[in-house]
Structure 1
Amino acid sequence: MSKKASYRQPNLFLEIIKGLGANKITLALLVVIFASSLSVVQVTHLSRAQLIEQDSLLQERDELDLEWRYFLVEEEFYSQHARIEEVATSQLEMKRPTSQDEQVIILQ
C-alpha cells in the first residue's frame, strides 16, 4: 500500500520542472526575476557602502575645517602688532630707533 501511495502522489518539484520546461517564456521570466532580485540586493549593498564612506568623508571635512579655523585664530594671535613688539623687546632686546640713531645715506 505504501508503494502505491508513494507512486500515486506526484513529486511537486518534478512537476514544477516539467511545467517550466514546457513553457519557455515562464522559465525566461523566472530567470529574469532572480537576476533582477540579485541586482537589487547588490545595488542596495553598494549604495549603503557609499553612504558610509560619504559620512566618514564629511566627518573628516568637518574636522579639517575646525583645525583650519584654529590655525586662523593662531595666525591672528601671532600677527598682532602688540605681540610682535612685545616679543621683539623681551626676547630679542630690540628697541625703537631714536632720531640720533638714524643715518641718512645719499646715493649718487
Structure 2
Amino acid sequence: MDIKSSVIKKNTRQPNLFAEIFKGFFKEKIVFLLLFLIFITALAVVQVTHASRQELILQDQLLQQRDDLDLQWRYLLVEQEFYAQHVRIEEIAKTKLQMKRPQSKDEQVVILP
C-alpha cells in the first residue's frame, strides 16, 4: 500500500498547470484585463495590416491604369499628328477629290463696298 499511496500523493500533489494559470487570470482582474487588451490590439494590428495591403494593391492597379491611359494618349497624339500633316492632306485632295491649286488666271478679286 505504500507504493499506491505514494503514487496517489504524486498525482494529487502536482497541479494542473493550465487550470492554475486560468484560475490566476480570473483572480487578478488587472491581468485578465491586460491580456484581453493585448488580444484586441493584436486583432486590430492584423485588421489594419490587411486593410493597408488592400489599399496598396488598389494603388498599384490605379497606377497601372494611369500608365496604360498615358500610353494610349501618346499613341493618339502621334496618330493625330500623322493625319494633320499638310503633305498628306494635299495628297488626298489631289488623288481622291481631284482637287488642284488654282492658277492666277482662275482667281477673281471681289471688291466689297
| Interval containing the TM-score (normalised by the shorter chain) | 0.7 to 0.9
Of 33, 41, 52 in structure 1, the residue corresponding to residue 46 of structure 2 is 41
The 1-side partners of 2:12 and 2:107 are apart by 122
Quick check: 1:68 aligned with 2:69?
Answer: no
TM-score (norm 2): 0.82
Tell me what 2:13 maps to: 8
CA distance in 2, matches of 1:7, 1:103: 126
Unaligned runs of 5+ in 1: none
Task: Work out which of the two has the higher radius of gyration on C-alpha atoms and give 1 or 2.
Answer: 2
1: CA distance between counterparts of 2:10 and 2:99? Answer: 113
Structure 2 gap ranges (5+) = none
Cα offset, 1:19, TM superposition? 0.7
Supply the AA of the counterpart residue of 2:89: I
Compute the TM-score of the two structures, normalised by the length of structure 1.
Answer: 0.86
Q: Secondary structure at the match of 2:105?
A: coil
**Code of the aligned partner of 1:43:** V
C-alpha RMSD over aligned residues: 1.9
Pick from 52, 61, 64 the counterpart of residue 56 of structure 1: 61
State how many pairs are aligned. Answer: 108
Q: Which residue of 2 aligns with 1:32?
A: 37
Deviations 1:71-105, CA, capped at 9 Å, x for gaps: 11111111111111111111111111223333444
Q: Counterpart of 2:98?
A: 93
Instruction: Return structure 1 stretches of 4+ with deviation > 6 angstroms.
Output: none
**Identity rate, percent:** 61
